[in-house]
Amino acid sequence: MKQLGTIMSSEIAETPAVLSKILDEMSAFESVKDILTTEKIQAVMILARGTSDNAAHYLKYLIETQIGLPVGLTSPSSVTIYNAELKYDNTLIIAISQSGQSPDLVHFATAARKANGYLIAITNDATSPLATIAHHHFPLLAGPELAVAATKSYNAQLLISYLLVAAWTGKSVNATQIISEATRIAATSNLVSDAVSTTDRNHEIVILGRGFAYPNAREAALKIQETSKISVQGLSTADYLHGPISALTDETQVIIVAPKHMPADSILEATTKIRKTSHRIFWIGNGGNPGASDIVMAGSNCDDEITSTLVDAMVLQRFALELAVASGFDPDAPVGLSKVTLTH
């Protein structure tokens, strides 16, 4: 009998090797390092769905904080359903997709390019439609990803996003540290055991993050929903305070994504208010201010919040994997999902 989650587990474990391949090809980003200037880019739009959309939020924060350009997330249906006429002069479109095949993404990217937009694609297939219509394509180098829940490809998307912005800003990359921390996380066998054994799938789970942690909060919620068949919210701590916190009870399980070096006061207001009601608080990462009774899923110790975030993605993936297996589900092939979702 097949052991549950073996494929997803092996693909998470491949992450350090995938990141190493990408970092070995950093020179590829030289081809676009001057694109913001040469193309007179005034705005950036990111095109993605699902897990790739969570990576898009990470890239959005990177560009906004490191460069200051306005960044938006596209609405593919504006073209595929409403036949909008795009006006994308001096606009950079970055399409992120594991397969590069979804018709709505391809349709939108084609329309954006016809509207004078400059297109960069990030996919795991250099022969995919998104890759071939782009001005530049950056491969994820993740190899075949067979588990339905994307893991190593998401981690690759985060790293390529980081390297892309590093090329534009001229900032150095500590490749050795990223690989060593990812390797350490991959080798930690009891990384999430305490959290999994304490989590009760019969009570509400809310996952919160802010800034660079927000994309991983969204991704953690998606991974748990995909693999454990329970409804989970992934929210910004700021958004949580603007309404959803009213549903908080003493049984609510709150997971806070807190990478090393995150601003200490960025989530203080939210955690202070949450503690007044719920005492079931978990943490992903080595940042924040956990209480004595909180459960911590330790993350990476990279030199900054940005790289700590991309390595910590492995922790949330392991949590989703082990929670699903503990619940009797096979995260390799969740019922009702397929690897490539072709939305129109």
SS (H, E, C) 226-271: HHHCCCEEEEEHHHHHCCHHHHCCCCCEEEEECCCCCCCCCCHHHH
Together in a domain, 194 and 228: yes
Q: How many CA atoms lie within 13 A of 137 on its CB side?
A: 20
Together in a domain, 157 and 267: no
CB neighbour list of residue 91: distance below 8 Å, 6 or more residues apart: 41, 42, 43, 44, 45, 112, 116, 117, 118
Cα distances from 266 to residues 221, 252, 259, in angstroms, run 20, 22, 12
Together in a domain, 248 and 271: yes
Together in a domain, 210 and 117: no
pLDDT of residue 69: 98
Together in a domain, 286 and 226: yes
Query: Model confidence over 3-54: pLDDT tens digits?
Result: 899 999 999 999 999 999 999 999 999 999 999 999 999 999 999 999 999 9
Please list the residues that pair with 138 across neighbouring strands. Answer: 122
* Structural domains counted in the chain: 2
Together in a domain, 205 and 171: no
Together in a domain, 28 and 90: yes
Q: Which two tokens stand for residue 41?
A: 């880019």
In the listed set 143, 178, 213, which residue is the last one of a domain according to the structure? 178
In a domain, 266, yes or no: yes
Q: Which domain holds residue 206?
A: 190-326
Query: Model confidence over 135-166: pLDDT tens digits?
Result: 999 999 999 999 989 999 999 999 999 999 99
Find the radius of gyration of the CA atoms of the chain. 19
Query: Model confidence over 253-295: pLDDT tens digits?
Result: 999 999 999 998 899 999 999 999 988 999 999 999 999 999 9
Together in a domain, 39 and 85: yes
Together in a domain, 169 and 288: no
Residue 336 clears pLDDT 70, i.e. is over it: no
**What's the average model confidence in pLDDT over 111-120?**
98
Sign of CA dihedral 260, 264, 270, 273: positive
Together in a domain, 243 and 139: no
In a domain, 162, yes or no: yes
Amino acid at 55: A
Amino acid at 89: D
Q: What is the CATH number of the domain that holds 67?
A: 3.40.50.10490
Please list the residues that pair with 122 across neighbouring strands. Answer: 96, 138
